[in-house]
Amino acid sequence: MTVDAPVGLFIDGVRLDSVTPAAIPVIDPSFATEAYRLPDSSNEEIDRAVQSARRVFEKGSWAKAPPSERRRVLHKLGDLLSAEASELDRLDARDMGKPVGLRRSNAASAAAVLHFYAEAIDKTGGEVFASDAESLVLRQGVPVGVVGAITPWNFPTMNAVRKLAPALAAGNCVVLKPSELASRSAMRIALLALEAGLPPGVLNLVPGSGAKAGEALALHQDVDMLTFTGSTAVGKRLMQYAGRSNLKPVMLECGGKSPHVVFDDSGDIEAMATAIADGILTNQGQVCSAGTRLIVARSIEAELCGRIAARMRDVVIGDAGDPRTSFGPLSSARQFERVRTLVSEASQQGAKLVTGGQPLSSRHGGYFFEPTLFRQVSADADIARQEIFGPVLSVMAFDGEDEAVHLARSTIYGLMAYVWSTDLSRSLRVAKAIRSSVFVNARAPAGEGAGHAAAFEPMRQSGFGAEGGLAGLQSYQRRQTIWINH
Ligand code: NAD
């Protein structure tokens, strides 16, 4: 099959056409033209996929396979992904507009995640508890069973692999429903997994909409766990579905409104401007952990804004499939309208536009929108509170540390925060006051750092459950205690 072949179901290791007509139009956002149509998996098809996963899970051909065998298959899948990385990036660019030249969270880095979890399989263990002379009490991690995975569109290949790699490494079977906006790379990954030696039925794919296929998967009585990345609104629904069905545990990686807190002793203002601009420009601001609120000491606010605005005007706008493009389109007409509406309302709510603010669709054809910077944004304004998921940076000036912390905490989200100061005591004080993961004088993926070993767990309405690192594998296990009297 060619990479561009239409997306279908993938059940029991076989690619199938859905009984439902391919009715969901998938629009290439660089040109606003229809690329293909996607089927919306029916309840019966979801059920078939879940049953396939259940059968294979109970048979144990993956869950009970020796760790060395699971390790070999996941490494092989990582190799196959690496070999097809540029094709997968191309599919994602066509489906949702992530520029092929963007290295962050691209298919090559998704392959690295697979290699990390292949190695993690035989490097996690349980624990032995203190007990009396006649007992041995131990705890081991066991696979959860059938995992339903529901993913968004912003980094389609990586979104899928961030779920699949740890879930499979832990010995589970998975039914994956990728975003209806971008399913082609997931289809390809399912086929590559089979080629890598993953037993048929361990990974099944059900394409379709959230309202139909997603809901049916989330409500299924025989799905043992849901893992979700997406908006907070849909995350809340998944918890309701779990309560209405079989009390399946839910792991949620949801939205964010991450602050940069910049003090006047931050050192290299040029490097900082580059990092902050890069954060909001990457993937057109459609990054869950993007720093979208700039909370900055009043004395350096004007200068920092000027430098960031200059970088915003310096982007190379164009077709996401062109390697020269640094700034592509927004993913969809819906996303485009959302950004346009919030930006046009911002001025009415008192914010001062510094650069951008305009759609570029008439010049470029697709769903393009200018990188946009607002100063003097009130903490109550919609652009300061709502996740825009677009290239819009909202700037608020502060006069003291307490005010900075108060502004940083003025959000329902708790995904990520960035603190910039050369005073380490102050940085740590502020970091500890913020309820999210925090980068100090750093921005992922600048520098080697902890690489894949670092785990991140969202807080507040950004969700819960660790993703990444060994803790990320344990998220897909249950703790089983075995008590032996001997
Ligand atoms: P979304 O919530 O609209 O959709 C995510 C997935 O949920 C899609 O597959 C969709 O089809 C499905 N879905 C929608 N309604 C559903 C329902 N009723 N039942 C079951 N499934 C349903 O999010 P999106 O627009 O695809 O992605 C953008 C969002 O994802 C942003 O909020 C962003 O912050 C978040 N995100 C978070 C992270 C993270 O790690 N925290 C990473 C990437 C994206």
Residue 63 has a pLDDT of: 97
Cβ of 218 below 6 Å from ligand 1: yes
Distance 142 CA to ligand 1 centre (A): 28
What is the whole-number distance in angstroms between the Cα of residue 268 and the centre of ligand 1?
36
What was the pLDDT predicted at 385?
A: 97
Do residues 307 and 269 touch, judged by C-beta distance below 8 A? yes
The pairing of strands 477-485 and 135-143 is antiparallel
Nearest CA residue ID for atom 8, ligand 1: 179
Q: Which atom of ligand 1 lies closest to the CA of 331?
A: 25
How far is residue 15's CA from residue 102's CA, in Å, rounded to a whole number? Answer: 30
CATH architecture of 9-254+464-485: 3-Layer(aba) Sandwich (3.40)
Q: What whole-number distance in Å separates Cα of residue 94 and Cα of residue 36?
A: 11
Name the residues annotated as catalytic: 253, 288
From the CB of 210, is ligand 1 less than 6 Å away?
A: yes
Tell me the one-letter amino acid at 329.
P
> What does the alpha-carbon distance between residue 171 and residue 191 come to, in Å, rounded to a whole number?
19
Return the ligand 1 atom nearest residue 415 CA. Answer: 41
| DSSP codes, 71-104 | HHHHHHHHHHHHHTHHHHHHHHHHHH---TT--T
Q: Tell me the average confidence (pLDDT) per consecutive run of 10 residues in the chain, 486 residues long.
A: 70 94 93 95 97 98 97 98 98 98 94 96 95 97 98 98 98 98 98 98 98 98 98 98 98 98 95 96 97 98 98 97 97 97 96 97 86 97 98 98 98 98 97 97 70 93 97 98 97
Q: Name the residue of 105, 228, 231 to mutate for ligand 1: max ligand atoms within 8 A of Cβ.
A: 231
pLDDT at 65: 97
For residues 96 and 336, what is the distance between their CA atoms, to the nearest angstrom?
12
208 lines ligand 1 (CB under 6 A): no
In angstroms, the CA 205 to CA 226 distance is 14
Helix, strand or coil, per DSSP, at residue 32: coil
Q: Please, what is the end-to-end C-alpha distance for the chain in angstroms?
A: 57
Do 9-254+464-485 and 258-449 have matching folds?
no
- CA 198 to CA 195: how far, in whole Å? 7
Query: 149 C-alpha to center of ligand 1: Å?
Result: 11
Ligand 1 probe mutation, 24, 113, 150, most atoms within 8 A of CB = 150
Q: What one-letter code names the amino acid at 42?
A: S
Atom 36 (ligand 1) nearest CA: 230
| Ligand 1 close to Cβ of residue 374 (< 6 A) | no
Which CATH number applies to 258-449: 3.40.50.720, 3.90.580.10, 3.30.300.180, 3.40.309.10? Answer: 3.40.309.10
3-state SS assignment for residue 216: helix
State the DSSP string of 289-326: T-EEEEEEEHHHHHHHHHHHHHHHTT--B--TTSTT-S
Q: What residue spans define the domains of the chain? A: 9-254+464-485, 258-449
User: Residue 190: enclosing H or E segment and its boundaries?
Assistant: helix 184-196
Q: Tell me the residue length of the chain.
A: 486
Q: Is 82:75 a contact under the CB 8 Å cutoff?
A: no
Q: What's the confidence (pLDDT) of residue 448?
A: 64
pLDDT for residue 20: 86
Interatomic CA distance for residues 158 and 178, integer angstroms? 11
The tally of CA atoms less than 13 A away on the side-chain side of residue 96 is: 25
- The phi and psi torsions of 173 (rounded to 5 degrees) equal -105, 150
- The type of residue at 61 is S
194 CA to centre of ligand 1 in angstroms: 27
- Pair of tokens at residue 337: 């309208």
Which of 307, 269, 306, 276 is CA-nearest to residue 294?
Answer: 276
Q: How far is ligand 1, taken at its centre, from the CA of residue 229, in Å? A: 5
